[in-house]
Amino acid sequence: MTESTDRLDSTKLNSVESASTNIADNKVPIAVSSTHQSIDSKTMNHTPKAMYVTSGNSITPKGKLDKMPKMVANGSRAFIWYLLAIMVLILDQWTKWLAQTTLAFNDPVPVIEPFLNWTLAYNYGAAFSFLADAGGWQKWFFSGLAFVMAIFLTVYLIKAPRAAKLLSMGLALMLGGAIGNLIDRLRIGKVVDFIHVHYADVWNYPIFNVADIGVCVGVALIIIDMIFLESKRNK
């Protein structure tokens, strides 16, 4: 009887120990699951910030958007380039006055033989004497064209990017040259030319003036800026 009782007690003790072990084992996954839920909750509360900024149908990486250049216009600093245009204008008008007061019409004065002469000439048309014999209407046509161009260049110099110094220089040179020849057309109805580049009697370049130099150099600078520098500014 005693032996049987001892066996029964031993069986109960083993059952209690097994139940305790199972309960203890069940606590671990519950704790771990709670921890996982806590971690997942924190993860959900710290959602990564968007790396892309959308605008309309376009998507631009945020880092690239921050690095995009901000173009600042010349604004009031265009006054510097207006001074350059005025210098070209003054030089042009002064040299034309010298040519008219010291040179005889169509009488070459050698300067660097056999490449350069001072030769007073008049142009009633455009560059290279285009429409020179049109009958007089070309004076008002080219004067109006030069006037519109001067206004456009004046406004464009204000809006041109401040960093585009070569572009602004080209615009200023063109502006000074355009106004220089415009003054000639309105004052005497023709453009005064006196710079004669040639090679002996074999080759002669059309006679030109300082205003023409300003326009041609200005156009060249603008083209150089468009081809080589504009794309770099937009990166």
Q: What is the model's pLDDT at position 17?
A: 54
**Domain limits, the chain:** 2-67, 75-233
pLDDT per position as a tens digit, 74-84: 888 899 999 99
Question: Which residue is catalytic, options 25, 107, 133, 193?
Answer: 193
pLDDT score at 140: 84
Distance between CA atoms of residues 148 and 155, nearest Å: 11
At 141, the pLDDT band (50, 70, 90 cuts) reads: confident
107 an active-site residue? no
- Compute the average pLDDT of residues 49-65: 51
pTM for this model (two decimals): 0.69
193 is known as an active-site residue: yes
Catalytic residue, chosen from 92, 184, 212, 225, is: 212
Please give the mean pLDDT across all residues of the chain. 79
